[in-house]
């Protein structure tokens, strides 16, 4: 073979190799990264309209919750399996007949995972909020800290014990989606930092402080579990201070006992989900 033919052959090989590399790389760049959202009602955004058409009605999932908003803002391909009432066990066991284990959505190609769980484990949020509202609502606004006296360290102990379950869930996410970046999303501020609004949330000032401590314990546990298990903690609490359920309708991000907008009581409204989305988007970058 002459030098000219060798040069032509080498050039052809180089062009073919370049084309082979450029083609798939371009395709991958044009394909939205896969994003799986796992979680409970603080993720699913129950009753915030419009309802997501791709989720079971049991889950009361909104098409305007933070996973949907985040996916749209960052150009991600979303699989949102968050569901109202879910706890850590529902990551691996079916919650409803039409809602399989949430981890079924995870694949080896998943690149981003957000998970918002923990509040329903041991019925912590439900028992704390409903229990305190019942006790204080019957006793009256000036009844002191009857709820704190009734429950004591119960919630703190349950939250501490639940860290093992959350850690195990995060480890399983890494096993099922080893290439994914994992983000643990905390809970926003539900009650004011001081005082109370007994007509909107029938909880005394002293018990508001007690319940704030419960939520801070939960978020601290989630932050620790994330840090020790290869995940990034997303703080939604700090930005939400001053936007709690006691604030005016135009200010609050969490609804009071009787919601005035499309949302569930003591849960984020549309503005709250949008605020959570901003925090998640910033974390994902």
pLDDT tens for 116-138 read 999 999 999 999 999 999 999 99
Residue 23: phi and psi, rounded to 5, are -60, -60
pLDDT of 1 reads 43
Does residue 279 have a cis bond before it (omega within 30 degrees)? no
Tell me: pLDDT of 71 over 60: yes
pLDDT tens profile 22-39: 333 333 556 899 999 999
Residues known to be catalytic: 41, 267
Q: What is the pLDDT of residue 68?
A: 98
Convert the pLDDT of each residue in 137-178 to its tens digit.
999 999 999 999 999 999 999 999 999 999 999 999 999 999
Average pLDDT, the chain: 91
Do 279 and 235 contact (CB within 8 A), yes or no? Answer: yes
pLDDT higher than 50, residue 96: yes
pTM listed for this prediction: 0.88
Q: Which two tokens stand for residue 47?
A: 């009753």
What does the pLDDT look like over 218-276, one tens digit per residue? Answer: 999 999 999 999 999 999 999 999 999 999 999 999 999 999 999 999 999 999 999 99
Does the structure show a pLDDT above 80 at 209? yes
d(CA 284, CA 234): 9
- Give the pLDDT of residue 270: 98
pLDDT at 29: 55
pLDDT tens digit string along 181-205? 999 999 999 999 999 999 999 999 9
**Exposure string for 187-226, b = 16+ CB within 10 A, e = fewer:** bbbbbbeeebbbebbbbbbbbbbbbbebbebbbebbbbbb
Gyration radius (Cα) of the chain, Å:
23
pLDDT at 25: 37
Residue of 157, 161, 214, 163 lying closest to 190 (CA atoms):
214
Could you say which DSSP state residue 58 is in?
G
Contact 132, 211 (CB under 8 A): yes
Task: Tell me the mean pLDDT in the region 35-48.
Answer: 98
More confident: 207 or 5: 207
φ, ψ for residue 133, nearest 5 deg: -65, -40
Q: What is the Cα–Cα distance from 233 to 203, expressed in whole angstroms? A: 29
pLDDT attached to residue 115: 98
For residues 102 and 100, give the distance between their C-alpha atoms in angstroms, rounded to a whole number: 6
């Amino acid at each position: 073979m002459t030098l000219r033919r060798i040069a032509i052959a080498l050039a052809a090989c180089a062009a073919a190799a370049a084309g082979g590399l450029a083609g798939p790389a371009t395709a991958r760049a044009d394909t939205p990264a896969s994003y799986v959202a796992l979680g409970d009602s603080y993720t699913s955004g129950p009753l915030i309209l419009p309802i997501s058409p791709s989720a079971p009605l049991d889950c009361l999932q909104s098409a305007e919750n933070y996973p949907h908003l985040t996916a749209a803002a960052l150009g991600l391909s979303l699989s949102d399996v968050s569901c109202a009432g879910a706890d850590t066990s529902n990551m691996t066991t079916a919650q409803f007949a039409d809602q399989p284990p949430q981890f079924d959505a995870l694949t080896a190609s998943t690149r981003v995972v957000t998970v918002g769980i923990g509040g329903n484990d041991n019925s912590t949020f439900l028992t704390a909020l409903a229990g305190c509202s019942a006790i204080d609502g019957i006793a009256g606004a000036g009844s002191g800290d009857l709820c704190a006296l009734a429950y004591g360290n119960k919630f703190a102990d349950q939250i501490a014990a639940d860290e093992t379950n959350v850690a195990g869930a995060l480890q399983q996410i890494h096993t099922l989606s080893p290439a994914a970046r994992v983000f643990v999303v905390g809970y926003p501020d539900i009650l004011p930092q001081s005082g109370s609004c007994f007509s909107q949330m029938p909880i005394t000032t002293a018990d508001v402080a007690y319940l704030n401590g419960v939520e801070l314990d939960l978020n601290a546990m989630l932050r620790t579990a994330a840090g020790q298990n290869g995940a990034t903690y997303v703080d939604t609490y700090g930005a939400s201070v001053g936007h709690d359920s006691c604030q005016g309708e135009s200010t609050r991000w969490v609804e009071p006992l009787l919601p005035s907008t499309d949302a569930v009581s003591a849960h984020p409204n549309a503005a709250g989900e949008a605020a959570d989305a901003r925090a998640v988007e910033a974390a994902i970058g």
